[in-house]
Amino acid sequence: MQRIILYKQIDHRWHYVRLMAAATPDLCIETGCCGHMPERTDIKEIPANVDHIAALRQEGELWLEEGYTKPQPNSLQVMTLHFQMRRWTGYAAGAPWYDDWTSGYLDPIHQVLDETCNGIPRSDERFSGNYLHYYTIFNSDLAKEAVEKIAAAAPVKFLLDIHIASREKQVQIPIDPNVPEYLRSLFRVVEKSARTIARELPVLFPTDPLQPEFVPNGTANRRIIGEAAAQLRSTLKEKWNFDSNFWDPLTQAAPSEVVFLNGMTEDKKLAIAELLKQKLQEPLYLLDCETGLFEIDTDQIFEGSHEGMVFDASFEWVVYFSHHYTISFSGDWLVSAVKDLYLNQPELMNAW
């Protein structure tokens, strides 16, 4: 599904129009006040000779003429969610508290802000047990109220401070006391400059207000939590020695033969995806080292860039994506299939 969201300030309150279209003949138009569910929903039929993305842009142009647009992020308030967590070394999704935290706080917060068009994810950072998530918000009272309700209902509690202001809440990165004073001062200057640049980027690089936003299947992928997630993680560790951290070729962690590639062409990706689809024992999973464990579709295997592992219910094969853009394959039949696919290009396999 593709969508466009535009905003307009009316009587000191922000209102939104959300335009949505998929590969169907209908275009959905939702309007409302930021912080509330849509007050009105209209459906327009897309003419047979008009592409659904073109229809979205055409409808968006009509709303631009009505004064709806994409406001400059720095003209709005910023809500900082500051979580203070137990220290953890390594990727966040490997932490024992990660699933409880994301399912109890981050996922429902993102959902309610998205559904009511009252929060746009801005950025996030983490260090020394401080996890900070920043949102550009339109109605500060309703945004804070929504977060407080979710925090109160969360089954597992985490220490959360909600900060709303014109700028992000900043927490100084700790510096080892043994670092000389002149280096400490230099580090603070660099830290301040980096944060200033990050804050100004949305203003320096404005985007097309009618650029459609892709939403997979209309909703987010289903997150796996609780006992189901624990069991999948345990089996992945037992069979493939993977625990949400570096794997082959970045380490020598694989228990059996691995072939890896430094990137793949689209035709090769499609060929591997088709082979996996034929052998697939559903569900298909992605354990993303940054964002957690999800069920995905086969057409999402090579989508995006992440550090993590794709596998199915059989645990007989795995595909690992590293932040160095290498793609590793393991499992007897899968290794054989990849070798066959690159029979005429052997120099591309297992080469940095």
Q: Where do the structural domains in the chain lie, given as residue ranges?
A: 2-65, 73-171, 221-348
Burial group, residue 49, by CB count within 10 angstroms (0-12, 13-18, 19+): exposed
Residue 7 in contact with residue 69, Cβ under 8 Å? yes
- The string of DSSP letters for 92-116 reads GGGSTTHHHHIIIIIHHHHHHHHHT
Among 319, 282, 275, which Cα is nearest to 301's?
A: 319
Architecture in CATH of 73-171 = 2-Layer Sandwich (3.30)
pLDDT score, position 324: 86
Tell me the HSE value of 244 on the side-chain side, using a 13 A CA sphere: 24
What separation in angstroms does the CA of 8 have from each of 12, 32, 110?
10, 10, 22
pTM above 0.75, yes or no: yes
Instruction: For the chain, report the end-to-end CA distance as a whole number of angstroms.
Output: 37
Whole-angstrom distance, CA of residue 77 vs CA of residue 162: 13
pLDDT score, position 206: 56
Residue with tokens 């925090």: 151
Q: Is the dihedral of CA 93, 95, 98, 99 positive or negative?
A: positive
Q: What are phi and psi of 3, to 5 degrees?
A: -145, 160
Whole-angstrom distance, CA of residue 140 vs CA of residue 119: 9
Collapsing DSSP to helix, strand or coil, 33 comes out as strand
Residue 95 in contact with residue 88, Cβ under 8 Å? yes
Collapsing DSSP to helix, strand or coil, 177 comes out as coil
pLDDT score, position 235: 95
Specify which residues 124 forms β-bridges with.
133
Q: Is the dihedral of CA 253, 254, 255, 259 positive or negative?
A: negative
Residue 1 structure tokens: 């599904």
pLDDT score, position 10: 94
Rg (CA), the chain: 23
Whole-angstrom distance, CA of residue 311 vs CA of residue 251: 19
Residue 201 CB coordination number (10 Å): 11
Whole-angstrom distance, CA of residue 75 vs CA of residue 78: 10
Q: In this structure, what is the dihedral angle of CA atoms 294, 114, 144, 104, given to the nearest 10 degrees?
A: -20
Residue 255 in contact with residue 318, Cβ under 8 Å? no
pLDDT score, position 319: 96
Mean pLDDT by 10 residues, the chain (352 residues): 94 95 87 97 90 92 96 90 88 88 95 96 88 96 98 96 92 70 69 66 66 71 86 94 89 92 91 92 92 89 83 96 92 95 91 82
Whole-angstrom distance, CA of residue 64 vs CA of residue 209: 9
pLDDT tens per residue, range 203-249: 545 578 899 888 765 555 788 988 899 899 999 999 999 988 889 88
pLDDT score, position 241: 95
